[in-house]
Amino acid sequence: MSTTTKKTLRLILGDQLNINHSWFQSTDNSVTYAIMEVRTETDYAQHHIQKVVGFFAAMRAFAKELKALNHNVVYINLTDKNNLQAFDKNCEALIQQHTFTHFEYQLPDEYRVDQLLKSFANTLAITHAVCDTEHFMSTRTELGDMFAGKKMYLMETFYRNMRRKHNVLMDGKDPLTGQWNYDSENRKKLPPKHVPTKPLIFSNDVTDIVTTIHATNVKTIGTIDVANYIWPVTRAQSIELLQFFVRECLPLFGTFQDAMAPNQWSLYHSRLSFSMNVKLISPQEVITKAIQEWQLRPNEIEYNQLEGFVRQIIGWREYMRGIYWLKMPEYATLNYFEHTDKLPDWYWTGNTKMNCLKDAINQSLKYSYAHHIQRLMITGNFALLAGVHPDEVDAWYLGIYIDALQWVEITNTRGMSQFADGGIVGTKPYVSSATYIDKMSHYCGTCYYNKAVKTGDKACPFNSLYWNFYDRHETKLAKNPRIGMMYNVWRKMQPEAKTALLQQAEYYLKHIDEL
Ligand code: FAD
Ligand code: DLZ
Ligand code: SF4
């Protein structure tokens, strides 16, 4: 009688770098971990160079950490000659080569990879198992179950349930202070002479990785300082960034959450999205740390700052993931407004006279980062007003940001920003004229265009495009109770004024690459 020794292959994806996962709590010589740099992942979007580097650097450091803990690790470099450049093909080859008898993987966060690994595992002649990533605070199906039979998926309802379930900022069954949400206090513009905290950045040397990327002709966008790569690529650096955030930024996080200013690329934002999305740190430890800091410094950190931050993480982040798993794959095809236009060329270069867009795009190209309100109310707002096809908008957001993974990119872009889901994520489209941008930023004062002018020479393009958008989509939007008021204003406008606005918008749309 022959007995086969069990030999297990465990796949770790580039966004599954969670050292606290139960997989790694003891060593087992019969288990081998595989981490791989593959072309399917570098090429499914045109990524920012800092994004590809961030993933590779974090994956390499994680493999090193596992080896130091005496785990067996196979690390496949992009240039390895045996690299078959896809998760399934490499796993198949490893299984044959090393005669593994069992295959395991963690639940992927992206639908595309989930489908791939499911079908791959089902074709295997050996046994397989899939387990949780042990990262998120809700399951894939929790949001769907919570809203079963309901027409609306209100984030606030989900958020309150998460607060209750995890006993976060609660006093028994009630919110700690009697009030759930302090969003209305979090909308301040930066005072004119205010100098924001200088962001903590790292100085990682990523020369080797950049050389590989160039040698293999991976097509990227944006720029990078190879000797001083700014993003955290290890758990230790992620924790350092978290500590910096709670110490320096949390006290004003909520107050200036929606503020924007030229050359201020991150203000009081945490820049923890990459670390969290690749699972170097967990949402639970991030909010625990923030709550502890607030408890230690009650006179310096007001409650609204803390609640605003906690809401982004256990509210919005988990909510978007729940929507993703409830609505994919159909979600990626939604185009409520039937928009068809292409993204202006200057989204890829930053070469526009519109100050707000120039600043948001150039900093995205320089840092692979823009904060939420820049993504939503500058680049997203313009793309929606300009009638750009959601596929084009998604491709840009999925490539350019360090934290872009489809589960959280598409729900924010197609959903929150482009309203292409017809109102699953948001209750109304996030569009604005120059009035809002000027209220929240310091962009307009030095702009080529005039924020106060709607038509004619140097009129701010946001102004006419805004009314053009409402006019174009009246049948879809006029009945929305949150927008009805805008249509009353539009209908009361003099016909000549309306015509002039629509003609101005038409001119700008025709010459969009020259704006
Ligand atoms: P902070 O402002 O410090 O917020 C703290 C954390 O809260 C973030 O790190 C993030 O994990 C979470 N968070 C905040 N807002 C959201 C939100 N709307 N959805 C989910 N999580 C949120 N976030 C991504 O992680 N990846 C993306 O690809 C992405 N694409 C976006 C595209 C558009 C059009 C918009 C409007 C938003 C997008 N977001 C995305 C959400 C948000 O803008 C980023 O999470 C945030 O800017 C990251 O910077 P930060 O870590 O400094 O965030
Ligand atoms: C984003 C990215 C890139 C650019 N490269 C890799 C890679 O070479 N190997 C890898 O395992 N993961 C990479 N990733 C992240 C993946 O796209 C992500 O892990 C999956 O899509 C699952 O969400
Ligand atoms: Fe942006 Fe218009 Fe203000 Fe210029 S005037 S910064 S284009 S909103």
Q: In ligand 2, which atom is closest to the CA atom of 39?
A: 8
Residues of the chain with pLDDT > 70, as a percent, come to 99
Distance from residue 444's CA to the centre of ligand 3 (Å): 5
Longest dimension (CA), the chain: 93
Region 339-343 average pLDDT: 98
Ligand nearest to the CA of 105: 2
Tens digit of each residue's pLDDT (9 = 90 or more) over 436-478: 999 999 999 999 999 999 999 999 999 999 999 999 999 999 9
- Beta-carbon count within 10 A of 485 CB: 9
pLDDT band at 1 (very low <50, low <70, confident <90, very high): very low
- Written as one string, the DSSP assignment of 3-48 is -PPP-EEEE--TT---TTSGGGSS--TTEEEEEE--HHHHHTTT-B
Q: Examine the pLDDT at 4 and tell me if it is beyond 90.
A: no
Which own/partner contact pairs does 458-462 have at CB distance under 8 Å and 24+ positions apart?
A: 459/504, 460/354, 460/433, 460/434, 461/354, 461/382, 461/508, 461/515, 462/381, 462/382, 462/385, 462/432, 462/433, 462/434, 462/437
How high is the pLDDT of residue 3? Answer: 61
Tens digit of each residue's pLDDT (9 = 90 or more) over 204-238: 999 999 999 999 999 999 999 999 999 999 999 99
pLDDT band at 151 (very low <50, low <70, confident <90, very high): confident
Angle at 26 between CA 130 and CA 272, to 5 degrees: 70
Calpha distance 64→234 (Å, rounded): 11
For the chain, list the domains and their CATH numbers: 3-131 (3.40.50.620), 142-205+215-327 (1.25.40.80), 345-514 (1.10.579.10)
Q: Is the CB of 14 under 6 A from ligand 2?
A: yes
Tens digit of each residue's pLDDT (9 = 90 or more) over 278-336: 999 999 999 999 999 999 999 999 999 999 999 999 999 999 999 999 999 999 999 99
Closest CA to 250 of 237, 232, 269: 269
What residue owns the CA closest to ligand 3's atom 2?
460
At 452, give phi and psi (nearest 5°).
-90, -5
| Residue carrying structure tokens 């309100």 | 373
Mean pLDDT estimate for the chain:
96
How high is the pLDDT of residue 364? Answer: 98
How high is the pLDDT of residue 184? Answer: 85
DSSP 249: I
Is residue 202 a contact partner of residue 225, using CB atoms and an 8 Å limit? no
Tens digit of each residue's pLDDT (9 = 90 or more) over 41-74: 999 999 999 999 999 999 999 999 999 999 999 9
Q: Which of 273, 274, 368, 396 to mutate to test the pocket of ligand 1 (most atoms within 8 A of CB)?
A: 273
pLDDT band at 403 (very low <50, low <70, confident <90, very high): very high
Q: Is the CB of 375 under 6 A from ligand 1?
A: yes
How high is the pLDDT of residue 340? Answer: 98
Distance from residue 445's CA to the centre of ligand 3 (Å): 8
Q: Is the CB of 235 under 6 A from ligand 3?
A: no
Tens digit of each residue's pLDDT (9 = 90 or more) over 152-201: 999 999 999 999 999 999 999 999 999 999 988 878 999 988 999 999 99
At 325, give phi and psi (nearest 5°).
-75, -25
Distances (CA, A) of 492 to 31, 145, 500: 71, 45, 15
Q: In ligand 2, which atom is closest to the CA atom of 78?
A: 8
Closest CA to 487 of 466, 511, 509, 505: 466
